[in-house]
Amino acid sequence: MGSERDRLMRHHESVLSKLQDTSKALSVQTMEALAGIQFQDVTRQQLEQVSDALSAIESHAKKVSAVLSGDDTAAFAESAVFDLDKLAEGYVMASQRETHNRHRGSGSPGEFPGQGGSRAVEMF
């Protein structure tokens, strides 16, 4: 009877050990999948921002072209300035804001126009 109990204990220990190993492996795979999803989301956001920026540049170029060709003299004041801060409203990462500020030559790395000094949660 004692040997049967010992055999059952060893079996339970073996099952528990395998269960722990499987649980650890599933946790690693889940975390890798979540990291992949997050990376894809960040990439998607950045591609959308590039697309939006290109659209804004195209629109601005059309206005400038109309002014230069004399077709739309009323748009002269509007076409004279391209508002970079307008593009920056879509930034979601601190690194984007810091790069923008560095190239604009203004603002501290943590502050951003229209952000009010608050920082959004950044996961990646």
Longest CA span, the chain: 103
Considering only 14-23, 82-91, 102-111, 112-121, which range has the smallest mean pLDDT?
112-121
Residues in the chain: 124
- H helix count then E strand count, the chain: 4, 0
> pTM for this structure?
0.59
67 CB-near residues (< 8 Å, 6+ apart): 73, 75, 76, 79
Task: Identify which of 18-27, 51-60, 110-119 has the greatest average pLDDT.
Answer: 18-27
Q: Where are the domains of the chain?
A: 2-82
Residue 73, pLDDT score: 64
Residue closest to 75 by CA, chosen among 62, 90, 88, 89: 62
Q: Using CA atoms, how far apart are residues 8 and 29, in angstroms rounded to an integer? A: 31
Give the model confidence (pLDDT) of 27-73 as tens digits: 999 999 999 998 898 889 889 988 998 998 898 888 888 778 876 66
- Give percent of the chain with pLDDT exceeding 70: 76
